[in-house]
Amino acid sequence: MVVGDFFMEIRNVAIIAHVDHGKTALVDEILKYVGTFRENQDTSNFSMDSNQIEKERGITILAKTTSIIYNNVKINILDTPGHADFGGEVERIMKMVDGVILVVDAYEGPMPQTRFVLKKAIDAGVKPIVVINKVDKPTARIKDVVDEVLGLFLDLGATDEQLDFKVAYTSALNGTSSLSQDLSTQEKSFKCVLDLIVNEIKAPDGDESKSLQFQPALLDYNDYVGRIAIGRVFNGKVKVGEMVNCLRLDGTEKQFRVQKLFGFTALSKVEVEEVKAGDICAIAGLEDISVGETITEVGNHERLPIIHIDEPTLQMTFGVNTSPFSGKDGKLLTSRKIEERLLRETQKDVSLKVEPIDSENFLVSGRGELHLSILIENMRREGFELQVSKPKVIIKEINGIKCEPYEDLQIEVDDEYMGGVIEELSVRGAILGNMTHIGSMTRINYTIPSRGLIGFATNFMTLTKGYGIMNHSFKDYEPVVNVDLGERKLGVLVSSETGKSTAYGIGQLEDRGIMFVEPNTNVYEGMIVGECNRDNDLAINIVKGKELTNTRAAFSDKTVVLKRPRPITLEYALDYINQDELVEVTPNFIRLRKIILNTELRKKADAKK
């Protein structure tokens, strides 16, 4: 890349970490340090996590690309998702970079998703730099955590070169860093981290004089230019308006004209005229371009190795809202609108698969509950109404044996709650790995069928009174365990009438279980309004009012004091429901319901079971 009269070197690096270990905050601080923003510019709202849900939840959902200029070196930085549901993006990004910055919390140390993302980096053969973040925490275990990281590298089969990693110590919150474990050496600067990137990570291979080779690793989409391929130019150069050749995954070829070329600067995509070997860019012009294909000059048929894409492990049904309240809240209701939205999502999310079941329902497959619940949440905010089924794992046949996905699970609990958690996991098919003590907490590792995790998050928070920490990541497909996993054991309270719930009706039924609704809530027949304290479902009249008479009894005017209802979030609802139930999702409401709404028909169906 030529700037002025000198050749500007390039470094391509990805930031990887477990969820909430501070990688996005670290990138934001680096952007501020190199003067990306004006002195008088408000940076309180700037973040690589630009999506509203990302900001609310503090997680990275989609990989982000930026670049900075430091000491006449252009550094392309890719901020990757930390959650295992988006691990496919991490794996593909490894094809675009020559090094990674592994960010690890100075107290928590390596976690399940640290292992998950680091394994992707080690398998790809890229050079690691370790950043121990949050060193300012009073509970920081800096020396122990560095030893744990080294142990993790050894466990994952790192090469001698990868084991010779350099370590920086930072506090992204305070904007400080140093190369020493001694906290007194922390300086208000990220110079040492940037120097490590420039000195430790090699410049990208690639020859500008050779024929063009570009490979998409990520996809973006907008309504103006359609699908946008984000990747690295491995050889040659590409210009706007140039005719190029796409070597498709199915072996065919297709020529197209490059309509737009985008580079990345700070938090923006900027249009550029030309990109050369070693750099990262985005290309628009082919509406159905896919991850892993190769773009070359016309006449060149030399393709790059195809990028592997992780297969979906979980699926659920998305359908038209058929409840009596359909159309009262959302504006986008029809199957055509839902199908258009789902197919549009597949344009930029290669891990998502959509298949029509019938005219009103679609089978949507993804990488996990978080992956699918974020899609539902985005649709809800856009004005959609829909109903979704309980997530279920995808069973594969491998060498004639039915196999299901398994996950590595790590939990941290206070010792007083440990017995209940271990008992709950044992009935969910979990296999105990190892157990370590950290202060008053115990960290336990398990291998568990993905089925066993469905609905566990809710129980786990109840068992630990909200103080437990749980993390999990996909491990492998293993033979199916013939155990009924993932179904809720308790029954539910189902409204037998349509109308508004009353304080009197709720008060009369509170001894039957825990309510999900408040007085004066609109309910319909077949809607789930509470959890039964027994293992069977119970049809109840929650709209019942007190009969009025001419007789006034003592204490008749006494105020009814009701228990606070259990709040229902989207993730809770998806975890909670059983196979004969659905979640009704609208812009302002999350409701639980039975598939069969009519009380009598439902009783007959249950009797046949």
Distance CA 599, CA 396 (A): 37
Nearest to 405 by CA among 350, 487, 480, 457: 480
Answer whether 518's CB lies under 8 Å from 440's CB.
no
φ, ψ for residue 311 (rounded to 5)?
-80, 150
> What pLDDT is stored for residue 301 in this prediction?
85
Name the burial class of residue 448, with classes exposed (0-12), middle (13-18) and buried (19+) by CB atoms within 10 angstroms of its CB.
buried
213-297, CATH topology level = Elongation Factor Tu (Ef-tu); domain 3 (2.40.30)
314-393, CATH topology level = Alpha-Beta Plaits (3.30.70)
> Which amino acid appears at position 447 of this protein?
T
DSSP 200: H
First to last CA, the chain: 69
Q: Please tell me whether residue 420 adopts helix, strand or coil conformation.
A: helix
Distance CA 281, CA 233 (A): 8
CATH code, residues 396-479: 3.30.70.240
Domain spanning 2-200: CATH 6.10.140.120? no
Answer whether 367's CB lies under 8 Å from 312's CB.
yes
> What pLDDT is stored for residue 63 in this prediction?
52
Report pLDDT digits (tens) over 291-331: 888 899 988 888 888 877 777 888 999 999 999 999 898 88
How would you write 113-171 as a 3-class SS string? HHHHHHHHHHHHCCEEEEEEECCCCCCCCHHHHHHHHHHHHHHCCCCHHHHCCEEEEEE
Domain spanning 492-608: CATH 2.40.50.250? yes
> What pLDDT is stored for residue 278 in this prediction?
87
**What is the total residue count of the chain?**
609
> What pLDDT is stored for residue 267 in this prediction?
66
**Mean pLDDT in order along the chain per 10 residues (609 residues):** 52 84 80 63 43 47 71 85 61 85 89 79 89 89 91 87 90 88 87 90 86 86 80 89 87 88 79 87 85 87 80 88 90 91 84 89 86 88 92 88 87 85 86 80 86 78 77 82 72 90 85 89 92 88 75 54 83 86 93 91 83
| Domain range summary for the chain, segments of one domain joined by + | 2-200, 213-297, 314-393, 396-479, 492-608
Report pLDDT digits (tens) over 351-372: 788 999 998 999 999 877 777 8
396-479 matches 2-200 in CATH topology? no
Structure tokens at 491: 């029954």
Distance CA 580, CA 576 (A): 12
> What pLDDT is stored for residue 120 in this prediction?
81
**Angle at CA 70, nearest 5°, toward 67 and 72?**
105
> What pLDDT is stored for residue 370 in this prediction?
77
Distance CA 479, CA 402 (A): 6
